[in-house]
Amino acid sequence: MLVNGNHYRSVWFEKDKIKVINQILLPHKFEITELKNTEDVANAIKTMLVRGAPAIGVTGAYGIALATKKGEDPNEAKETLQNTRPTANDLFRGIDHVMDSLKNLELSHKDLYALKAANDYANRSVEACKKIGEHGSKLIKDDSRILTHCNAGWLACVDWGTALSPIYAAKRQGRRIFVYVDETRPRLQGAKLTSWELLNEGIPHAVIADNAAGHFMRKKEIDIVIVGADRIAKNGDFANKIGTYEKAVLAKENGIPFYVAAPSSTIDLSCETGEKIPIEERDENEVHFIGRERITPEGAKAKNPAFDVTPAKFVTGIITEKEIFKPEEIAKVFKR
């Protein structure tokens, strides 16, 4: 995708280092950060310097390749990286993909195979997201007004994105579109990242407060909702950034189609329902502070779940790299 007219991926491997776009500094500063060891990779994922389910999946894959190249124990690297963020299924899929490539190999060959496996995983992820755009763009008519939540664009997905991929594809097909961008408290990924991506792509949009979406739905100013996912359970329930559940309920109440866009790497068929999805709890200071300014009274406590679970009954369809499916079809189409 584009940054000032130049193409970038959000994460890649170059000269024995992982390079990532530093998402913490956006939108005010565009900077490439180098990750030189397993500790760097783990910290980048924990602090959300790199974030988004497919992106951290690829970063995890490259993390194993980096550890192997440096002669570290890949099993120790795997344990460290898997403990960074529990909700997104892609992280575990990316790590396992590279670990599986190392089975029954001589130690001297492992670094080459690990990097090849990580690059293959990254390229497959990009292609899956591009296909999501091709399938999902069929849902977007000319003059569509689209609501999205959090950032599920190319920053979150190496390239193209999930929820934003159909929007980018529709734009490139010549359709007029307008996007309502939820700010996404407390980390403000919509306001900081999605808006920045859309500006670079020349797509008209407006950032709205998280609690304003219902107002625009009731006024018939939103035609379709498309969000990403961090884990999709076997029955079609899914976890996504906190605030997604209420958008789905509001969409159902107002008769607005609600779609989830995600690659197959996000689907976890070993997880029977959304009740089994682990929900990450982050530091309460993310709620107390915006930047360095405290916005709550000293002594106040805060709760900070990073994700919520939306039941399948609120989902119109799931946009994947294969096609668009009903939630109840997922278990039949995708195998463990």
Q: Which residues are catalytic?
A: 230
Euclidean distance between CA atoms 230 and 237, whole angstroms: 11
Euclidean distance between CA atoms 229 and 307, whole angstroms: 10
Strands (E), 15-161: 17-21, 32-35, 144-148
Q: Which residues pair with 3 in a beta bridge?
A: 6
**Do 238 and 260 touch, CB atoms closer than 8 A?**
yes
Q: Which of 55, 22, 217, 227 is nearest to 128 (CA)?
A: 55
Euclidean distance between CA atoms 131 and 66, whole angstroms: 29
Backbone angles phi, psi at 13, to 5 degrees: -110, 130
* Long-range contacts of residues 20-25, Cβ cutoff 8 Å, at least 24 apart: 20/44, 20/49, 20/50, 20/59, 21/50, 21/155, 22/49, 23/48, 23/49, 23/50, 23/51, 23/155, 23/193, 24/48, 24/49
Euclidean distance between CA atoms 196 and 313, whole angstroms: 32
